[in-house]
Copies of this chain bind each other. A is one copy, B any other.
Amino acid sequence: MNDDRTGRIAVIFVSIRNDANPIGYGRAAAAMDALAAQQPGYRGVDSAREAGGDSAREACGMGITISYWADDAAAIAWRDHPEHTAIRDHGRSLWYDSYSVNVSRIERAYDWTRP
């Protein structure tokens, strides 16, 4: 058990992407990851996206990104960061069909690695 994660904030972002502008999306996603990592209280990110059923549209499908923050103030500061706000507006106008956000607080944590 790894209790030093207890109390951190996990911002769970679940999105459905369309097939618009995959290159622009990829660039923006990488830029946001890099910018997030510079913010106070940043504690990491996990991200995975299903490949689309059609190999020519692999960028589509359901994606999950979870960013981790030292506390709620850090998570809120990132939510309200001007560049993050701007790219979110861009995502709504262009890349996403829908998304949901769950802001949660970690109560227990475990890790396992193959011995």
Chain A residues at the B interface, C-beta cutoff of 8 Å: 2, 5, 10, 12, 14, 46-51, 58, 61-64, 66, 72, 92, 96-114
**Looking at chain A's contact residues, is the secondary structure mostly helix, strand, loop, or mixed?**
strand
> Nearest chain B CB to A100's CB is how many angstroms away?
5
- Pair B105/A103 contact, Cβ less than 8 Å: no
> A64's contact among B48, B72, B96, B114, by CB below 8 Å, is which?
B48
Pick the 5 closest A-B CB pairs, nearest first.
A104-B104, A103-B108, A51-B51, A48-B48, A98-B113
| Cα(A101)–Cα(B109), bound, Å | 6
State the CA gap A99–B46 with chains docked (Å): 12
A97 to B114, CA, bound (A): 5
Residues in B with CB closer than 8 Å to A50 are 48-49
Residues of the B chain whose Cβ atoms lie less than 8 Å from the Cβ of A63: 48
CA distance A100 to B111 in the complex (A): 4
Residues of B within 8 A of A66 (CB): 12, 14, 64
Q: In the complex, what distance in Å separates the CA atom of A30 from the CA atom of B105? A: 28
B110 touches A100 (CB 8 A): yes
A109 to chain B, nearest CB (A): 5
